[in-house]
Structure 1
Amino acid sequence: MSRFVNVFSLSIMLVFLTVPGTYALSDLFTFPLHPPLPEIEENQIQSVIVSTDKLSKEEVLRKVKNLSSVSLKTEFETAFNGFSLTGTKEDIEQIRQMPGVENIYPNQQYKATIERSVPYIGAEEIRSYLDVHDHRLTGEGIKVGIIDTGIDYSHPDLRRNFKGGYDLVDQDRDPMETKSKQGLPTMHGTHVAGIIAANGKIQGVAPKSEIIAYRALGPGGMGTSEQVIAAIEKAIVDKVDIINLSLGNDVNGPDWPTSIALNKAVEKGIVAVTSSGNSGPKMWTVGSPGTAQKAISVGASTPPIMVPFLTMGSNKSEIELTPMQGAKPWDFSREEKLVDAGKGFLKDFTENVKGNVALVERGTIPFTEKVANAVEKGAIGVIIYNNVKGNFAGALEIDALVPVVSISKEDGDDLKSSLLKTNYIQTSFKKIEDSMADFSSRGPVTYTWDIKPDVVAPGVNIKSTIPNGYESLQGTSMAAPHVAGAAALIKQSHLDWNPDQIKAALMNTAKRLSNEKGYYSPIEQGAGRIQIDKAVRAETLVYPGSFSFGMFHNEETRKEKKVTITIDNQSNEEKTYSFELPKSENGLQWKLPSSLSIPPKQQKKVTVSLDITPSIIKEGIHSNWLTIYEEGNPIHLPYIFVIEEPDYPRIMGFQFGQGDSPETYLYEAYLPGGAEEFGIALYDPDTFRFIKYLDFAKDVSRGIVKKQLTKEEIGLKGVYKGLVFAKNKGREDTIEVTISINESTILEKK
């Protein structure tokens, strides 16, 4: 396994990107059609996943077994055409050339993406409705597979619902959460399970559904893509109705093996629900497998909650505070003094911090260490501001004795500047509901230009089960199981509905969310916040629930693109449908079906066309809603099209760390559109004098770029400033990092 990880919290949806292949809790990966593998020595071993075409698989396997250095690990039968193995560089290159081999992927690593929220989305109201057996809608008889850190099936709120599962980490039938004697303990899967199906002191969305637990993430919430895919395969074999994956990474792309496997699960009749990630509020932050086209990708909104806001001195602009998981609630009711404490090293805390609130910048050392240092010096609260634009959702490894909150870099810089005039802060509380959580990842998806997330659900301050108790967490990890529970209720009510129909019911009936500026865009909220009561009673289903017309180029004088949608009349009466013509815009001409009637229990495919003259339309992302009326009742369908290459990040997921053998280092980056030039420049940290290129390449294909370097090749030792850059189609993006080349390697993103 790789030595380095990139952790961010999604409630505890933590995500890790490592090498040669690891997965983490909720924020996601997405990857290339032909990903390059790490540069390794001929006799070094690496772990990979091999994709084959269906007809050639057995022949490829026969040849692979004859290779002396290859160790076959897992053969995938249903969710993915292929197998995993370990082998030398020479063997893997030989396998790559075999007829029938489509792709070879590094075995990536992942880490682990109610009380008020359940009634808020209509789950309690729908209890009065009955299924075909005259049973109330509680999820009874529906099997929900939870691919996560396992669950504490002894919890009094979960033990009645637990119906078995499998541990893909220890390879046994005991999917219990990791306990302290086994390593860093986990609780994420238990929290997710409670949101879906708690049936005791608290009630989940579907409190009588059956929980099938798959422990794909072990100590600390870490697991490999092999384990995640194997868990998906187990779920298919076990014939679960729904699977929930609150896991992923922060790389935006549609073509990684876990996304492929998730799409295959949907084709097998399973409703796949996954979190979108916690890297918002910027665009292009949805991660895989939340980018899987056929899955339901879920963003986070707020249930009705009281949110703390901060003001400082005479400046009355309010700063929203995001509580950090593991800390005491922010409950200051009087004026407090704020003290700047740098990056939170022990030396940064002066004597002035005692009895006051510490302002700390994110980065360099863990949140837990910053807070421990603040407590040691007598701080009564900690505010951590981001070191890059935007806010973040964070978590502490150990429960804190004081309140800890996070704010954006912009707000942190403002507070720091205000300290020159005043030291005093005031807290007020406001009721917030149905707003988008800042941390919730936004779309669209690179390369396919699909709209993600598909829907949103409550994901802020969600109280649910954990081993030996209950706790409030936040993140899209908490939003996704609300939707998985909703899907269980819909499935119980409509046993004959397939995944496309269940997804459509959730999207077609969602509530579009807005703020003072108007509706959040589809790439922020998808179709909107789910409303279970309306989804269960939906008489018309339109799918897909959103669609993309793709990308257009300015040199195209005129181009028409078409999408086909299905209108499905599930009622017992004939219904008439009509389209609302969108507002007229220069360069756009819609061709929509005229009014049509569909008999009861019938469906009809219709074509929607968009005629575009790209040269007279503003470049960038264009996204809105197309409205279909079901006899006066509106159904809003999000759509998107792109003019010219969008302004998405040219580099994602950069990591640097120790390699797979002594005296080596390994870097990894994801290039969603490839790069005309890519490199890593090293500078002296004090003088900023350029020293050398750690690596440089031209015309790099889209996808993951990796390379292993020896200490001799690097030729340096010490701590350096690094500038990672990628230039593509008129845009150059850079990431500033700190790289330590010695016995232990640290990467710090600026």
Structure 2
Amino acid sequence: MAKPKLPPSVLCLLLFFMAFFAKCHSQEKKVHVVYMGEKLRGNVNVESVHHSMLESILGSTEAAKESLVYSYGRSFNGFAAKLSDEEAAGFSGMEGVVSVLPNTILKLHTTRSWDFMRFNQSPVGGQHGGDVIIGMIDTGIWPESESFSDEGFGPPPAKWKGICQTENNFTCNNKIIGARFYNSENSYYATDIKSPRDSEGHGTHTASIAAGREVAAASYYGLAEGLARGGSPNARIAVYKVCWSSDCSVADVLAAFDDAIADGVDILSVSLGVFFPLEYFEDPVAIGSFHAMKHGILTSNSAGNEGPNRGWISNYSPWSLTVAASSIDRKFVSQLVLGNGQIFTGVAINNFELIGTPLPLIWGGNAANYSGNSMPLQSRFCHPGVLNSHKVKGKIILCEGLGDGSEIIRAGGVGVVMPGLHFEDYASSFPLPVTLISTQDIAIVLEYIRSSHNPIATILHGETWKDVLAPKVVSFSSRGPNVFSPDILKPDVTAPGVDILAAWSPIAYPSVYKGDTRSVKYNIISGTSMSCPHASGVAAYLKAIHPSWSPAAIKSALMTTAYVMDPRKHDDKEFSYGSGHINPEKAVNPGLVFDACEADYIDFLCKQGYNKTVLRLITGEDVVCNGLNTSRQWNLNYPSFSLAIADGQKITGTFTRTVTNVGSPNSTYHVSIYDMPIFLDVKVEPSVLSFSAVGEKKSFTVNVNGPEITQEPIMSGSITWLDGVHVVRSPLVVYNVVSSDIQSYHNPSQRKKKKSTLTGSSMDSRIGTSFSTSCILTYEFFYLTYSIKSAKGSLLYSYQRSFNGFAAKLSDEEVAELSDMDGVVSIIPNMKLDLHTTRS
């Protein structure tokens, strides 16, 4: 039967309203970040520059003033502003703009973990441990926690240039030496506190893992009791609160990077990231960590919690340290005992005590809330509102779906049994007695309920068991390969990220249930958010002992001395754990390091397909990319080797590396090749490296050849240099990718990169030797034709301390105009980023 046709008049009216609402939607102002690369040189009023750019798009001083959110200029150049999509697009083609980013959401990616790594810290933090500053970009901090006591600390080091925002009774001390907070959307929920104070718990947790003081008898309701401490207890903490109950935004994260770099931090710990991979200079964490690297600061990033699927790694830039999450030799179990004597062991952080009393056990499918239009098909999963409180009250409920326990509490239940699914390798806490058992055990328990006249059960108090399989990368930890740079192995290392006890905000909910009103000072949670600060703490420890080491040297020490992981436990091998599990004590004396500087990363970006115009904006220097930018990135001086081969092609690749002697002045290293598949021909030349001084450099070449391979997910081995004292190990991986992907990775004409449309072709001839001169001349022209007043109303942030850029409120048309401006590298909508904790 044919569908009836609409009358022409109705159709026209419908089309009119569709166009009208589409236009209204396109005019909606959203925060975008305009990233413009390296900070301006000289005594320049960066905020005025950003105002004038906004005026050129918005047309008035008033509009620009209302639009601007941040002006970045302390460490890099850019701004955040409220713009429509069209206005943001206008900035994308401007000369001097690297990228325009939407203000998307970013996600927030212990008593035992340090002992598990045999890291006793003697002496703690080295002679100058108190001079090292760790910047925490997170949800803030609870300064009154015992973990952040400043007893015995002197004043902050002289290099510190930061501030402490003391709103709403927040205070710093000689441990927490600085704190800032950012909220570009000016949007707050009831639980949010307008200060650096942490109401979520996440930032307090990560800060105490990285640099918490020693606290005796810390526990979560008696579980995991012991001495809590961070990796660098003597290090100072600088807090940058960018994440709220509604997650984290791009504009705020970049503002935090801008300040942290200029404030004088030594290490940055960033346990958050975008949900999906982005180009390097459209990713706020990659942008911020690049400028941190330029200032000698290592950024430690969480890998993300999108595992176990391959290729979802977050924070994959080669200038940062990407950390996966693995288990420690402790796990929390909660046992279910049925009335027939059967016992099932599940996972949960269960601090409740049913005193072993058997209670009625009911299946959710038998407790449907029919008056609420719920059927057994829904109630079996125990979703909100589906259970009949008369049938559930006082009973333990068997649910076939995962939940936070809120529906059981609402209906009056006293305990719940749920399937663990693929979450059985880490535990979570709930607001009532819970155990998560296997789906096979769920079926057995359900059969017991159906066959028993009076089914009863009890859930025992949680216990701590030894995990003999540790360390093992947890299922949720994001895996490689690196989708944008397949010749760079990611993650770099793994670190403890499962069931970690650390400090907590007493006003944050202590379990997965957001209505949980209990208050705790220490909590147990999991995520790559927890593994990242473990690496950050060790990096700070190394910085204290070796203050002259570069970010790449510290990273290399962590990678080449890592514990070798067991590939038999990991289907994805190095794509799960990189070089291995961090080994803090060995990292102090690695023998050799693979060092790299800004010039090395610029060469890498040339080979990645970025043109010299964009790179000049990013670096603030003249950049020459030698030859055609179609080569592989094999020769970045990276501590690992990755060889992506097009499906059906022969294996062939050549790597060149340079190592720097940081061990004994007179030493000789011999190479060994371990665990390579027999059909791989791997040759290292020379096979012996002799050094006569500390700081001396030697180069070697690795040639890899083999037959055609098809559908080979990963093959691996290692190249190891030994001198009788040191073991300098680098993994080598070979794997298949689709041929078209290889071409797009390495052919600039096929890459979906905005390197031309974001900059403008006339910029080369106008910049000359100094980007800042061209930029200032361009914006002075805007001063002559538009007013400053409008720009000031639009500007949110002016990034100027560490790089150049700004955040502003712009319409879509204004964004489109701004994108055509000289000096604009990119315009980024104000996306939201995720914290990398499983609780998010």
TM over 0.5: yes
Find out whether 1:197 has 2:211 as its counterpart: yes
Residues 638 and 406 (structure 1), Cα distance of their counterparts in 2 relative to 1, 3 Å cut: farther
Q: Secondary structure at the match of 1:534?
A: helix
Cα gap change, 1:215 to 1:42, in 2 (>3 Å): closer
How far is 1:475 from its partner?
2.0
Question: Take 2:693 and 2:342, find their aligned partners in 1: how far apart are those partners?
Answer: 56
For residue 664 of structure 2, what is the aligned residue in structure 1? 572
Show the counterpart of 1:266: 293
Question: Offset at 1:429?
Answer: 6.6
Q: What's the CA shift string for 1:396-455, capped at 9, x where partnerless?
A: 7xx61x233446767767766786678779989741142333332322222323433222
2:307 and 2:284 mapped to 1: Cα distance? 24
Distance 1:267 1:122, change over 3 A: farther
Identify which range, 115-124 or 229-238, moves more after superposition.
Answer: 115-124
**5 Å matches for 1:44-443?**
44-52=28-36, 62-67=52-57, 68=59, 70=64, 71-77=67-73, 80-124=76-120, 126-128=121-123, 131=126, 135=127, 139-160=129-150, 161-169=175-183, 178-179=192-193, 185-201=199-215, 202-218=228-244, 220=245, 222-253=247-278, 255=280, 256-287=283-314, 290-308=315-333, 321-323=346-348, 328=351, 339-341=362-364, 342-344=380-382, 345-348=384-387, 357-362=396-401, 367-373=404-410, 376-386=411-421, 400=431, 402-406=432-436, 430-432=465-467, 433-443=470-480
RMSD: 4.3
Q: Does the CA-based 8 Å contact 1:301-1:437 persist in structure 2?
A: yes
Once the two structures are TM-superposed, the CA of residue 489 in structure 1 deviates from its matched residue by 1.1
Query: Is 1:451 the counterpart of 2:499 in the alignment?
Result: no
Larger mean Cα displacement after TM superposition, 236-245 or 180-189:
180-189
Q: Is the CA contact 2:323–2:491 (under 8 Å) kept in the aligned structure 1? A: yes
Output the CA distance in 2 between the equivalents of 1:673 and 1:623.
29
Distance 2:93 2:482 in 1: 31
CA contact 1:507–1:528 (8 Å) conserved in 2: yes
Equivalent positions of 1:609-648 (< 5 A) are 609-613=703-707, 616-632=708-724, 633-645=726-738
Of 447-456 and 411-420, more deviation after overlay is shown by 411-420
Mean Cα displacement is larger for which, 483-492 or 305-314?
305-314
Aligned partner (choices 683, 690, 701) of residue 607 of structure 1: 701
In structure 2, do the counterparts of structure 1 residues 319 and 183 end up closer, same or farther at CA, with 3 Å as the change threshold? farther
Matched, 1:467 2:505: yes
Shift in alpha-carbon separation, 1:91–1:267, aligned structure 2, 3 A: same
- Counterparts of 1:618 and 1:186 in 2: how far apart (Å)? 47
Match of 2:34, SS state, is strand
Q: 1:170 to 1:559 in 2, by over 3 A?
A: closer
User: How many residues of Structure 1 are paired with residues of Structure 2 in the alignment?
Assistant: 588
* Mean Cα deviation higher: 412-421 or 227-236: 412-421
Provide the identity percentage.
23
Shift, 1:310, TM fit? 5.9
Give yes or no for contact 1:278–1:393 (8 Å, CA) kept in 2. Answer: no
The one-letter code sitting in structure 2 at the alignment partner of 1:105 is: L
Name the CA distance, whole Å, in 2 between partners of 1:159 and 1:55: 36
Q: Distance in 2 between matches of 1:317 and 1:560?
A: 57
- d(CA) in 1 for partners of 2:674 and 2:645? 19
1:592 counterpart SS class = strand
Offset of residue 372 of structure 1:
2.3
Distance change (3 Å), C-alpha of 1:413 and 1:606:
farther
Post-superposition offset of 1:225:
0.8
Structure 1 contact 254–293 (Cα < 8 Å) conserved: no
Q: Structure 2 CA distance, aligned partners of 1:412 and 1:226?
A: 46
Contact 1:507-1:545 at 8 Å conserved across structures: no
* Partner residue in 2 for 1:9: none
Alpha-carbon distance between aligned partners in 1 of 2:236 and 2:523, rounded to the nearest angstrom: 22
CA positional deviation for 1:495:
0.9
The alpha-carbon distance between structure 1 residues 182 and 458, as it changes in their structure 2 partners (threshold 3 A), is: closer
Deviation at 1:638, TM superposition (A): 2.3
Unmatched runs of 5 consecutive residues or more in structure 2: 1-21, 151-174, 216-227, 365-379, 507-520, 596-636, 742-750, 754-840
Instruction: In structure 1, give the amino acid aligned to 2:473.
Output: M
Paired amino acid for 2:138: D
CA distance in 1, matches of 2:699, 2:74: 29
Deviations 1:202-222 (A, max 9, x none): 43221111011111113x162
Q: Deviations over 1:281-332 (max 9, x none)?
A: 3333433xx32322222222222324327689899999874436xx636999
Deviations 1:94-134, CA, capped at 9 Å, x for gaps: 3223234343221112344211222322332x324784xxx
SS in 2 for 1:66: helix
Q: Secondary structure at the match of 1:453?
A: coil
CA distance 1:258–1:629, change in 2 (3 Å)? closer
SS at the partner of 1:193? helix
What CA distance in whole angstroms lies between the structure 2 residues aligned with 1:203 and 1:619?
Answer: 45
| TM-fit CA distance, 1:157 | 2.8
Change over 3 Å in CA distance of 1:441–1:332 after alignment to 2: farther
The answer (yes or no) to whether the contact 2:721–2:728 under 8 Å persists in 1 is: yes
Paired residue secondary structure (2:27) = coil
C-alpha distance in structure 2 between counterparts of 1:412 and 1:646, whole Å:
44
How far apart are 1:350 and its partner, in Å?
A: 7.6
Give the secondary-structure state (helix, strand or coil) at the position aligned to 2:273: coil
Q: Could you say which structure has the larger radius of gyration? A: 2
Q: Could you tell me how far apart the structure 1 residues matched to 2:83 and 2:659 are? A: 50
Deviation at 1:523, TM superposition (A): 1.3
Q: What does the per-residue CA deviation read over 1:487-507, in whole Å, with 9 as the maximum and x for residues that have no partner? A: 111111111111111111111
Q: Paired residue for 2:576?
A: 524
User: Which digits, 9 at most, give the CA deviation of each residue in 1:28-84, with x for residues without a partner?
Assistant: xxxxxxxxxx99745332321223465999889744432225533323336554322
Deviation at 1:265, TM superposition (A): 1.3
Task: Report the secondary structure of 1:196's partner residue.
Answer: helix
* Whole-Å separation in 1 of the counterparts to 2:583 and 2:535: 10
Partner SS state of residue 77, structure 1:
strand
| 2:50–2:71 contact (8 Å) kept in structure 1 | no
8 Å contact from structure 2 (residues 136, 268) kept in 1: yes
For 2:609, the equivalent position in structure 1 comes to: none
Cα distance 1:85–1:600, how it changes in 2: closer, same or farther (>3 A)?
A: same
Give the secondary-structure state (helix, strand or coil) at the position aligned to 2:115.
helix
Shift in alpha-carbon separation, 1:53–1:113, aligned structure 2, 3 A: closer
Alpha-carbon distance, 1:549 to partner: 3.7
Structure 2 counterpart SS, 1:108: strand
2:539 to 487, 504, 507: 487
TM-score (structure 2 length as normaliser): 0.61
SS at 2:290's partner residue?
helix
Which is richer in helix?
2
TM-score by length of 1: 0.68
In structure 1, distance between residues paired with 2:354 and 2:752: 46
Which digits, 9 at most, give the CA deviation of each residue in 1:698-726, with x for residues without a partner? xxxxxxxxxxxxxxxxxxxxxxxxxxxxx
Matching residue of 1:592? 684
Structure showing greater relative contact order (alpha-carbon pairs closer than 8 Å, 6 or more residues apart): 2
